[in-house]
Amino acid sequence: MGAKILEIDEIAPAFKRYLIHEPVIARKHRAGQFVMILIHDHAERIPLTIADSDAVRGTITLVVQEVGKSTMEMGTMSPGDPIEVVGPLGKPTHIENWGTCVCVGGGAGIAPLLPIARALRDGGNRVVSILGGRTEELLILRPEMEEVSEEIHYTTDDGSFGVKGLVTHVLDTYIENCGQPELVIAIGPAVMMRAVAEQTRPLGIPTIVSLNTIMVDGTGMCGGCRVPVGGEPQFVCVDGPEFDGHEVDFNMLIKRQRIYLQQEEEARRRYLASHNCRAVAGGG
Amino acid sequence: MPRELTKKERLAIPRHPMPAVDPAERVQNFEEVTIGYTEEMAVGEAERCLECKKPKCVDSCPVGIDIPAFVDAVAHGRFSQALAIIKADNTLPAICGRVCPQEDQCEQTCVTGNKGDPVAIGRLERFVADYERGRGEIRMPRCKSPSGFKVGIVGSGPAGLACAASLTMEGHEVTVFEALHKPGGVLIYGIPEFRLPKAIVRDEIRSLTEMGVEFKCNFVVGATATVDELMGEWGYDVLFICTGAGLPYFMGIPGEELIGVCSANEFLTRVNLMRGFDFPNYDTPVAIGRRVAVVGAGNVAMDCCRTALRLGCEKVICLYRRTRSEAPARIEELEHAEEEGVDFRWLAAPVEVLGNEDGIVTGVRVQKMELGEPDLSGRPRPVPIEGSEYVVDLDSIIVGIGQGANPLLTQATAGLDVDKRGCIITEEITQMTSIPGVFAGGDIVTGAATVILAMGAGKLAAHSIDCYLRGVPMVAEEEAKDDAENDAGLAALIPSELETRTQNGAM
């Protein structure tokens, strides 16, 4: 098989976009699906949502935020490098003509939101997007999201762009002014998705969230990704990644995302230490 | 010179124990535990065989190896010939010699065993496979001329490898699809290094590659391409589905979602496939703490217990709701685990996982059981003893109570009939599924079983697939085997000059 990186560009601080040649996955990809990648023999398998695909060119796009050792190391790869990619995994987003769909994206969650928003638009929906980031430059994929949205709102923590505050504030205002949408899709940090779900629950607005959990294989074999949904354990890799936001046990999800926090921190520290040493040695 | 022994003399030879690394030393590392027979031990053990006129061992072998013939070859020091005899029926002897439950198969029906210990058939199988590996003389069986047919095999575990070997020898073009990034299935992700060195699996796979088998890793049939697409635009004439029992069962008790509870599959995959024992040299972490409980007493549970010890756990407790006699693990695995210091709690069933406010496991509430009347499985039913609950303090719990059929492929394949457990339904003799040209075998059909049963299914399916492709009616396996031998398939496997050299060396 042999997937290969074609292009890498930095779209925001610590955010890189990878264009990967992988014709089979490009042809099969549907909005909402993800891949597992492995960057070398000693690396870990990590799940990444497909941000875009081009069946004609045979490419998929991944947008990766550099948060730990694996994603930082991935950032040092170059065009032409081989990369192991398997997928497309997970259930595609269920698309139908709902009417108005509000797409709420936070931080790195904007990347997986893009293909879903596009599929909803193509499915005849009116797409209203509410995107949040810490600062203006961390609001990624703005032109792409604007292209698929009929209406778009931005929030930043520092007020450097759009409304100062949280996406939930804008969602509140939107519902107040324009009435209830038929569907809300929220993708972002677990605390953001929980806040959106809590906001729409009393209003009875169907709310879909896309979960990001620890996985080893991504095909239902390890069960490491399991999260209680409606009181029943669900495997995010094969039963999801999208679930009814009102049924997800976000508290458990947040705890389970932190299982390997200590090891992740150790790996990151070691990586940065060795990386900086090399940089210093190279500079000398 | 080979000795000629009387039956009485043969019976007088005691079974040769398997040399093993000292338990205190071996729990410090992941090196293989059993060392294997020396040539002298192997010849001596082989001489215990009574050469029965009607050998029962062959009938108890899922792949029907001509056991008396290979054992006789070993007794006469003709090790390469012995291996050729095995390889006529079993393409993976170095693996089966290590992981087959021989005590429930060939060795159970061994006539020598009627009056004492059975001939150590499994150890002899391993010996001859290792002997050839050690000499770097792994030879390829000869393949028939290309048939022009394309066969796709879905899953690269034991069933897939056995099927791939047989079909390639028949001249078909074989592609094996593997969802993970390395081929081998459970042999790679599941069975630990100390029981089955991965170099052996890699060598077997390399042999298949050299025979012409193509392995496509990172390919999830049902996701990357569907069964329909493979049979259509991808141009496969036949598919053999052997995706195994990859879906981990959990206990369904309160607290199971807590941090520190993981499936045996996850634990073993992190350690074996991803080399998590060597973190941070390898990036995949394993975090099980110092006190671990493993639930279940099958081979997978034993692998977890012994792996946990090797990761440096201070206390490894095995919780099983029945007794040692009902434990599904091979006796050798139980013995090894006992020697290494696993704390077995028989008649102990977990009823609740306990955790702290951060959602981290702190212990497990265990109920004592007693054995009652036999249940549907024929084993005595464990019955709870009222008021017997106690708490065990723990850092983590590994659930090794079994695996079911992974639904990924079956749910993505319209028209593929499955039973209520999600296992694929096949026609008994031909192993064809409800979709014409699509066959299935191994754990995805039977539910979780053993390496050798999966290999047996792969081998039988290969025969059925070959008949299907050539448009001939399927003949019984016995006849097919006789035919194969008459076809000089066996002669092709025996390098005559090497055999002579070995004989000379022995004399």
Q: What are residue A5's phi and psi, to 5 degrees? A: -75, 130
**Cα B504 to Cα B126: distance, rounded to the nearest angstrom:** 23
Choose among B180, B247, B358: nearest Cβ to A220.
B247
Q: Global pTM?
A: 0.90
pLDDT tens digits, residue range A95-149? 999 999 999 999 999 999 999 999 999 999 999 999 999 999 999 999 999 999 9
Q: Which of residues 80-119 of A touch B (CB under 8 A)?
A: 84-89
Query: Which residues in chain A are closer than 8 Å to B181, comparing Cβ atoms?
Result: 38, 45, 84, 86
pLDDT of residue A46: 94
Sheet strands (E) in chain A:
3-12, 15-21, 34-38, 46-54, 59-65, 82-89, 100-106, 126-133, 151-156, 163-164, 183-187, 207-210, 226-229, 232-235, 242-244
Tally C-beta pairs within 8 A across A and B. Answer: 120
pLDDT tens digits, residue range B290-343? 999 999 999 999 999 999 999 999 999 999 999 999 999 999 899 999 999 999
Choose among A44, A87, A223: nearest Cβ to B250.
A223
**Cα B317 to Cα B196: distance, rounded to the nearest angstrom:** 23
Q: Is the pLDDT of residue A28 over 60?
A: yes
* Cβ of residue A268 closer than 8 Å to a chain B Cβ: no
- Dig out the tokens for B249 from the structure: 């069962």
Instruction: Give, as one character, the DSSP assignment of residue A12.
Output: E
* pLDDT band for position B408 (cuts 50, 70, 90): very high
The continuous run of DSSP H or E covering B319 comes out as strand B315-319
Choose among A88, A217, A228: nearest Cβ to B180.
A217
C-alpha to C-alpha distances, B4 to A56, B9, B46, B48, nearest whole angstrom: 73, 10, 12, 11
Q: Is the pLDDT of residue B205 over 50?
A: yes
This model of the complex carries an ipTM of 0.92
β-pairing, B396-399 vs B261-263, is: parallel
Report the percent of chain B where pLDDT is more than 90.
72
Query: B257–A221: do the CB atoms touch at under 8 Å?
Result: no
Q: Is the pLDDT of residue B489 over 60?
A: no
Query: Which residues in chain A are closer than 8 Å to B269, comparing Cβ atoms?
Result: 216-217, 221-222
**Cα B80 to Cα B66: distance, rounded to the nearest angstrom:** 15
Query: B247–A221: do the CB atoms touch at under 8 Å?
Result: yes
Of the two residues A157 and B480, the one the predictor is more confident about is A157
* pLDDT band for position B114 (cuts 50, 70, 90): confident
Say which residue the tokens 């990172």 belong to: B218
- Substitution target in B186, B218, B267 with the highest count of A β-carbons within 10 Å is B218
Query: A38–B181: do the CB atoms touch at under 8 Å?
Result: yes
Which residue, B165, B153, B178, B179, is CA-closest to B212? B165
Query: B218–A85: do the CB atoms touch at under 8 Å?
Result: yes
Choose among B216, B248, B257: nearest Cβ to A1.
B216
